[in-house]
Structure 1
Amino acid sequence: MCRWIAYTGKPVYLDTLVTKPDHSLVVQSRHSQMNYTTSGELLSINGDGFGIGWYDKRDTPGLFKDDLPAWHNTNLDNLCHQVQSHTFLAHIRATTTGDIQRANCHPFGYKNWLFQHNGHISHFDKLRRPLQLKIAPELFPLLQGTTDSETFFYLAISYGLLDNPKAAMQKMVREVLQVLSNFDKDGVLNLSCAFSDGRKLYTLRYSYNEAPMTQFVSNDSGCLQEFAEDKPQIPAASTIIVSEPLDNISDKWTKIPNNSFTTVFRNEVTTERFLDD
């Protein structure tokens, strides 16, 4: 399992969320508090790589990834201290599928889109081929890694993510569930995803046959200042969505319900039901 954050709003330096908060993403890479395995054990270490994708003034996002642990890379500190962005995604990895290599680190990028994921699917080693055969032929050569996450991303692009994100994700999930049920009716699919085109931010929280991965949202500018006044300030009219809050949980963080599709545009957060049972 993994941890991630997604931000959109007024430009901030990346370190405002990635390294400075009491429970920043880098701190979570060694001391996660809510990342439980399917057997109920706390997975506190997320050391199988990291990545950050950010948007500034150009059409396509910047992307920096490495297979080293986030706490071990001084380049990450320097980059986050210097780069400002109005929308960015950041991810730390604890692998359940795919080797520890840079190609398997999130976020994944395609044109002006970024995508990151926390979760898993049962039997991916058996399902990988039938799922990837559903990817559009012109997209298939772009696959670089061996994760279920990248497969989900290119399936969603094949089904129209660039034009209608919610409908594309619905079709992707239905297709994945169909392939899974053909192999194992008791199989598990768990998705906590964040993705963006640089203009809007989207997230999905959905699970099948398993308790869902956690996901929280805040657009409170004081959401990092619960205990200390000198903590980073989030600009007004900005939104953060996280798999785990960046400080102790308070009323400044709202849990996003399971089976939800969330859209953030100009600080307006809209959460809709994702799939009808």
Structure 2
Amino acid sequence: MCRWFVYRGAPLRTSELLLHPVHSIVAQSLNSPLGAEPVNGDGFGFGWYPVDGDGPPGLFHSIEPAWHDRNLRSLAEAVVSPLFFCHVRAAAGPPIQQTNCHPFRNDGWLFMHNGGIADFDRVKRDLVLAVDPDLYPLMLGTTDSEVLFHLALTLGLRDDPVGAIARAIAFVERVGHEHDVRFPFQGSIATTDGDSVWAFRYSSQGRSRSLFHSTDISDLRTMYPDESRLSLFSDDARVIVSEPINDLPGAFLEVPEASVAILDAAGYRHAAFAPAGS
């Protein structure tokens, strides 16, 4: 389907993680060993929050493959940010166009998704009609992921992110079952308000796409004292990824099936996750 990446920590030149690691998200756009598709070349998106926290997140989308987009490389070398998202897309049906590239933005929020709503063409009408009328005009693309984001906004994402995602997926499953879709939802989701990050791993079938987060950097420095690149990162530097961006054993921990990882200034917290009412 797709691959995605999240960083949160002290302000960092974004190229240090988007471009330079051996298995960076840009490298994964061309070769993704753990992905449902090895190539994710149907466009990409890059979203970042300013260092001073003033204003909405920046956003750059392109339908070019990430591995040879010069604009992305130039931008990543120039942008310094304390929190940034990147997503590379493997289109599963909706056309290749900028409005279908993740992450999606609403005011200060970013959202991205790897996976899909099964038989989306059959359930799309019911899902779209459930979106708040004030939010409906803001859906500019044709993907199931964008509809899911606006459903979550409709159902209270700003005040209760975990509950809103649970209610949105529960609604997707209910509508899917009404249309005889056996396993309506599949995916990993990341969303942020610019401070905390919520990363979900869930599927109706119980076989979700891969999702990992980094080990604490202090532990990594102890494990790998000769790894000079670790000195680039602050003690609170953490990443959440569709798949690991390096080959260091123990550097990444798998996020369990049917769970949410919450990342804030205190670090990671984990909780079981299930659609509301399931």
Unaligned runs of 5+ in 1: 37-42
Residue of structure 2 equivalent to 1:70: 66
Q: Distance in 2 between matches of 1:237 and 1:127?
A: 42
1:53 counterpart residue number: 47
Candidates 107, 112, 119, aligned match of 1:116: 112
Q: What corresponds to 1:88 in structure 2?
A: 84
In structure 2, the partner of 1:259 is: 258
1:71-220 to 2 correspondence within 5 Å? 71-209=67-205, 211-220=207-216
Distance in 2 of aligned mates of 1:246 and 1:226: 16
After the TM superposition, which residues 12-27 of structure 1 pair with which residues of structure 2 at under 5 Å, given as runs? 12-27=12-27
Letter in 1 for 2:239: I
Matched residue SS, 1:254:
strand
**Is 2:247 the partner of 1:248?**
yes
Change (3 A) 1:193 1:20: same
Shift of 1:219: 4.0
Which segments of structure 1 move beyond 6 Å, counting only runs of 4 or more?
A: 225-228
Query: Residue type matched to 2:227 in 1?
Result: E
2:11 corresponds to which residue? 11
Provide the rounded CA distance (Å) in 2 between the counterparts of 1:205 and 1:249. 23
> 1:118–1:192: 8 Å Cα contact kept in structure 2?
yes
Aligned-pair CA distance for 1:252: 1.8
**8 Å contact from structure 1 (residues 239, 267) kept in 2:** no
- State the shift of 1:249 in Å: 5.9
- Over aligned residues, Cα RMSD in angstroms? 1.8
> Which stretch shifts more, 246-255 or 167-176?
246-255
Q: What amino acid is aligned across from residue 11 of structure 1 in structure 2?
A: P
Aligned to 1:229: 227
CA distance in 2, matches of 1:210, 1:188: 11
Contact 1:219 1:237 (8 Å CA) reproduced = no
Query: Which is further off, 183-192 or 153-162?
Result: 183-192
* TM-score scaled by length of structure 2: 0.92
1:262 touches 1:271 (CA, 8 Å); kept in 2? yes
SS of aligned partner of 1:10: strand
Cα separation, 2, equivalents of 1:160 and 1:92: 27
Deviation at 1:218, TM superposition (A): 0.9
Give yes or no for contact 2:215–2:253 (8 Å, CA) kept in 1.
Answer: no
Alignment partners' CA distance in 2, 1:230 and 1:99 = 42
Q: Deviations over 1:24-78 (max 9, x none)?
A: 0111011111002xxxxxx211000001100012231000110110012101111
Aligned to 2:191, what secondary structure does the other structure show?
A: strand
Deviations 1:115-160 (A, max 9, x none): 0000012100111111000000000011100000000000000000
Moved more, 99-108 or 212-221: 212-221
Q: How many residues align?
A: 270
Q: What code does the residue aligned with 1:92 have? A: V
Distance in 2 (alpha carbons) for counterparts of 1:180 and 1:16: 41
Q: 1:81 to 1:208 in 2, by over 3 A?
A: same
CA drift of 1:226 comes to 6.9
